[in-house]
Amino acid sequence: MSSLPQNPSAPIPSESYRVGTLTYTARGLYGVLFWMLLGDFCLQIMEQLPTSLVPLQLRWAEASAALIGFLTGSLPAMLGILLNPFIGVQSDRHRGPLGRRRPFLLWSTPLVVMALLGLGFADPIAQLLSGLSPTGAGLNSLKIGWMGACMVVFVVANTYIMQVYQFLFVDVIPAKVMGKFVGCYRAVGALGAFVFHRFLFGHAKSDIAMIYTLAALLYAVSFLLLVWKVKEGDYPPPPPRSTEGKLAVFKSYFRDCFGHKIYWTTYSLSLFFWSALVPFGTFLVFFGTQPGGTASGYAPTIGLSLSEFGHIKGWCSLIGVPVFFLVGPLVDRYHPLRIAMTGLFLSAATFLACYFLVKDVASLNLWLIINAASQAVYMGSYLAILPRLLPRAKYGQFFTANQIFGFSGVVLAPVLCGWWIETFRDYRLVFLWCAACAAMSLVMCSLLYRQWRALGGESAYTFKT
Amino acid at 216: A
Assess contact for 301 and 71: CB atoms under 8 A. no
Assess contact for 327 and 339: CB atoms under 8 A. yes
- The per-residue pLDDT for 192 is 87
Maximum distance among all alpha carbons in the chain?
Answer: 73
pTM above 0.75, yes or no: no
Return the H-helix or E-strand segment holding 311: helix 306-334
pLDDT(194) > 70: yes
CA distance 153 to 133: 22
Highest mean pLDDT among 8-12, 108-112, 245-249: 108-112
Q: Residue 4's beta-bridge partner residues?
A: 23
* Model pLDDT for residues 285-332, shown as the tens digit of each residue: 889 987 654 446 788 889 898 889 888 988 898 898 888 888 878 888
SS3 22: strand
Q: Distance from first CA to last CA of the chain, Å, rounded?
A: 37
Assess contact for 91 and 104: CB atoms under 8 A. yes
CA distance 439 to 429: 16
* Model pLDDT for residues 92-121, shown as the tens digit of each residue: 888 888 989 999 999 999 999 999 999 999
Residue 320's contacts (CB-CB under 8 Å, 6 or more residues apart) are: 186, 187, 190, 372, 373, 375, 376, 379
- The per-residue pLDDT for 375 is 93
182 or 108: whose pLDDT is higher? Answer: 108
pLDDT(168) > 70: yes
Q: What is the mean pLDDT of residues 421-425?
A: 88
pLDDT(379) > 80: yes
pLDDT(4) > 60: no
Which range is least confidently modeled, 78-82, 337-341, 343-347, 445-449? 78-82
Q: What is the DSSP letter of 7?
A: -
Taking CA atoms, 325 is separated from 145, 332, 386, in Å, by 42, 12, 19
Which range is least confidently modeled, 96-105, 173-182, 372-381, 419-428? 173-182
Exposure letters 199-225 (e unless 16+ CB within 10 A, then b): ebbbebeeebeebbbebbebbbebbee
- The per-residue pLDDT for 137 is 62
Work out whether the CA dihedral 399, 169, 194, 50 comes out positive or negative: negative
Q: Is 99 left (phi over 0), alpha (psi -120 to 50) or beta?
A: left
Assess contact for 374 and 347: CB atoms under 8 A. yes
Count other Cβ atoms within 10 Å, centred on residue 153: 16
Across the beta sheet with 16-19, what order do the strands follow?
3-5, 22-25, 16-19
Assess contact for 73 and 278: CB atoms under 8 A. yes
Residue 6: pLDDT band with limits 50, 70, 90:
very low
Assess contact for 216 and 208: CB atoms under 8 A. no
- The per-residue pLDDT for 239 is 73
pLDDT(409) > 90: no
Helical ranges in 133-203 per DSSP H: 139-172, 178-195
Q: Is 173 left (phi over 0), alpha (psi -120 to 50) or beta?
A: beta
Assess contact for 430 and 278: CB atoms under 8 A. no
The CATH superfamily assigned to 27-232+247-458 is: MFS general substrate transporter like domains (1.20.1250.20)
Residue 391's contacts (CB-CB under 8 Å, 6 or more residues apart) are: 398, 463, 465
Q: Would you tell me the crossing angle of helices 75-93 and 395-424 to the nearest 10 degrees?
A: 180
- The per-residue pLDDT for 296 is 60
Domain positions in the chain are 27-232+247-458
